Chains A and B, each alone.
Chain A
Amino acid sequence: MSIGRHSRTYTRISASGGLGVAFSDILETVSVQGLAWHLALRDIRLRYRRTVIGPFWTVLSTSLFVAALGLVTTLLFGRDPYTFIPEFAAAYFIWVTIVAFVLEAAVAFTGAEQVIRSMRSPLTLHIERVIIRNTVVFFHLLVVFVPLAVFLNVPVHFAAVGWWLFGIVLLVANGMWIGLLTAIINTRFRDFYQLVATALQILFFLVPIFWDPALLEVNAPLVHSILVVYNPFYMQIQVIREPMIGQAITLNNYLVLAIIALAGSVIAVAALGFAKRRIGVWL
């Protein structure tokens, strides 16, 4: 026939699993990028249907949170608002994006149950949809950072824009594999969502987002090395934030996150090979 991706006219549906099945799922998703973007942008449009300011509700609520907690922290810990507020804002925007990636991916399959059980669609499409959607929201949030940077005279490191983009690429890459893995596990064990949600809530306090890691280095060096030096969540924040607030680039962070992204992808693809046949009946 003339149109469509199924116009390749032969389909074989067999009991096999494994890497081949996982890769063909991913290839199929790669071939329907138009659909992935269409679904992601539709999600954003429909989430705020009939509201007046639409997606800027996310921007508004996140900014108010930053302002409130920023103010309290500045007063409590006596930090300089000119350096602290932009630091905290950037870290928090990255953090909410990580949380949205993981939690929304966790329900990506269960939320698309009808489509998965009644149509032929690659599973990774539903993960990519979540990642695109929240990456777009992340760029919305960054709009808030611009006036902040101007008014507070933040020394944005424009020459490091390449590193900044690479940091975002790492965020997306890690979001993809973690999202896929979370979605698979949560489809089978529905407690997983609650578990992850709880863990992320606690992690918000454990990752140096609103507190000063330098203080910890003085008070508790061992905890400092766990929560600050070897904390992949903090690395993920750093690789995007360093260029934004004019800090020196920590090359090691990029390297470690790239290795995590590669290793994690291998695990997630293997999990997909195992689960591809089962997701439909687990739903």
Chain B
Amino acid sequence: MSFESEIQVKDVDIDIPVFDGERSLKKTLFSVATGAGRIEKNRRASIVRALRDINFSAQRGDRIGLIGPNGAGKTTLLRLLTGAYLPTRGDVRIFGRISSLLAVGVGMDPDDSGYDNILTCAMLMGLTRKEAEGVRDSVIEFADLGDFIYMPFRTYSMGMMLRLSFAVATAIEPDILLIDEVIAVGDAAFSAKASARIEGLVSQSSIMVIASHSDAIIRQFCNRVIFLENGRILFDGDLEPGLEAYTKWTQGQFVPEA
């Protein structure tokens, strides 16, 4: 096919206002946890500068690992690419169908069976009812939950919820697959299966972006690393140099390129 999936992120900032909570306390806590100067206070709200000057592009075959400390902006970046958060400044262009797995069980009702939730979730991801019914069998087969598929979603373990959510997110054949930390809760068998499915998708035409704190997961799934810290990109490049940069940063030895 002539179509090429692509992501272009240009000069993106995201500010997030926080309206509740005790502000001075929050400010103190945040400045310890995520670096000072990232929360600006005005009369009405604290404003978290979640992302700053984000520029990158991705082409087919890119499997990007988002790394960085807690609160670096990884999830915010994934929400931006999903289209859930719109930027405060800047511009994102995405060529290709997006599917995201940012949390386990999004769009699934705890009281509904897995079987029925597949339909709802696939429709939320953009399929028509007919199409959703069409992918249901393959989702059930991949999730491999046995008779639990007819039980209410709330009875599932975290791993089972992940299996089902992942199965739906990938069954719709996305061009661009966005995954947050969640994938870490799967067992070894699932991990191998997920890995194979992602390989399959990426070899077709897709781009994958995955955020994780696990070097093992990043090594397993990715061929490129974007290292975020304090809302900015500190490193964008090959896998091993990226992981090395992050390790150096944690040891306080990281020197950003000029």
Contact = CB atoms under 8 A, between A and B. Distances in A.
Contacts of B3: 9
Nearest to B82: A120
B91 A1 contact: no
A3 interface: yes
Contacts, number: 136
Interface string B118-142: 0110011111110100100000000
Interface string A237-259: 00000000000000000000000
Nearest to B91: A14
A119 B121 CA distance: 10
B103 interface: yes
Contacts of A35: 123-124, 129
Given A114-B107, A119-B84, A3 B90 contact: no
Contact of A10 (B86, B88, B93, B134): B93
B184 interface: no
B200 interface: no
B84 A280 contact: yes
Interface residues of B, number: 51
Interface stretch (B25-33, B60-68, B94-102): B94-102
B91 A114 contact: no
Interface in A187-227: 188
A34 B129 contact: yes
B134 to A, nearest CB: 8
B103 A46 contact: no
A132 B50 CA distance: 37
Given A11-B98, A14-B87, A276-B86, A46 B111 contact: yes
A9 B85 CA distance: 19
A116 B102 CA distance: 11
B16 A34 contact: no
B124 A281 contact: no
Contacts of B91: 12-15
A270 B172 CA distance: 34
A9 B112 contact: no
Given A14-B92, A118-B103, A119-B100, A4 B126 contact: yes
A282 B15 CA distance: 11
Contact of A120 (B14, B98, B111, B131): B98
A1 B94 contact: no
Contacts of B174: 1
B83 interface: yes
B80 interface: yes
B106 A281 contact: no
B23 interface: no
B17 interface: yes
A5 B172 CA distance: 11
Given A120-B98, A280-B86, A281-B85, A3 B124 contact: no
Nearest to A121: B124
**Secondary structure at chain A's binding surface: helix, strand, loop or mixed?**
helix
Interface centre among A1, A42, A115, by most B CB within 10 Å?
A: A1
A42 B131 CA distance: 18
B89 interface: yes
A4 B79 contact: no
Nearest to B135: A3
Contacts of A9: 3, 5, 95-97, 175
B109 interface: yes
B127 A3 contact: yes
B144 interface: no
B98 A281 contact: no
A15 B12 CA distance: 9
A277 interface: yes
Contact of A6 (B87, B88, B98, B107): B98
Interface in A99-129: 114-121
A119 B127 CA distance: 13
B53 interface: no
Given A1-B97, A4-B127, A282-B17, A114 B173 contact: no
23 contacts: A1-B174, A4-B172, A5-B126, A5-B128, A7-B97, A9-B175, A12-B92, A12-B94, A14-B90, A15-B86, A32-B126, A34-B123, A34-B128, A35-B129, A114-B103, A115-B107, A115-B124, A117-B79, A118-B79, A118-B84, A277-B88, A280-B84, A281-B15
Interface of B: 3, 5, 14-17, 19, 79-80, 82-98, 100, 102-103, 105-107, 109, 111-112, 116, 119-120, 123-129, 131, 134, 172-175
The 9 closest A-B pairs by CB, nearest first: A120-B83, A4-B126, A118-B102, A13-B92, A277-B86, A6-B97, A5-B126, A11-B94, A6-B126
